[in-house]
Amino acid sequence: MLALRDIQFRYPASDFQLAVKHLEVRAGEPLAILGPSGGGKTTILRLMTGLLSPDHGSVSCGDTQFSQLTATERRRFRLEKIGLVFQDFALLDYLTVEENILLPSQFQPDDPTLRERANGLAEQLEIAPHWHRLTGRLSQGERQRVAIARALVHRPAFVFADEPTASLDVRRRGVVMDLLLNYAREQQACLVVVTHDPELMPLFAQQLRVEDLTAA
């Protein structure tokens, strides 16, 4: 379970403020955070993943409370337990699709099924034909799907996706959302998706509007 308690956060020299009294995301019960671009959705996601630290309050992933970890320990936790789809994808353009997807394998070197899972995700996301291409030569939609495959390949307990369908057409948007939601249900993972697309809302029983948490 992901839990935020008594969170307060603001950027220095800014009127932006964020406050979360209590928020829980249970395993297998995905949460969608809806709001306009620039409204604070990415900030909330960065707090949830320990990339930002709140001014007050606590963020816990399972039994792990980020405030009790060093920066190195937080990074290690993210690499091992969290699947994160960045809005800008954060791919290494000098590596191939295969190499980008398999980056998490350095933390599971003895897992014989990881490459098989990588191949399966590439097939599901329709990027298998680009397996040996450099990601810097792919379209935005293809790059987005590589980032999603990389986020899921190591079977993380927590998945956070920042605008995961922004660069996709309607059909592939459905493919990606089916994959993410099925993963959360089958693996009993915590899934948080932030989006400005109201058409995704019917897919989520648990929803949150970013304007209810922020002031500017």
Per-position DSSP letters for 46-110, written without gaps between them:
HHHTTSS--SEEEEEETTEEGGGS-HHHHHHHHHHHEEEE-TT----TTSBHHHHHTGGGGG-TT
**Domain assignment present for 148:** yes
**Domain assignment present for 208:** yes
**Domain assignment present for 21:** no
**Domain assignment present for 157:** yes
Q: Which pTM does this prediction carry?
A: 0.94
| CATH number of domain containing 87 | 3.40.50.300
**Domain assignment present for 95:** yes
Q: Contacts from 103-107 at CB under 8 Å and sequence distance 24+?
A: 103/150, 104/79, 104/150, 104/153, 104/154, 105/153, 105/154, 107/79, 107/80, 107/154
pLDDT digits (tens, 9 = 90+) for 175-185: 999 999 999 99
Q: What is the mean pLDDT of the chain?
A: 93
- Inform me whether the pLDDT recorded for 216 exceeds 60: no
DSSP state for residue 116 in the 8-state scheme:
H
**Domain assignment present for 44:** no
pLDDT attached to residue 142: 98
pLDDT digits (tens, 9 = 90+) for 108-163: 667 788 899 999 999 999 999 999 999 999 999 999 999 999 999 999 999 999 99
**Which residues form the domain of 142?**
26-39+79-213
**Domain assignment present for 178:** yes
Query: What does the block give as tokens for 14?
Result: 């800014």
Number of domains in the chain: 1
AA identity, residue 91: L
Residue 215: pLDDT band by 50, 70, 90 thresholds?
low
**Domain assignment present for 87:** yes
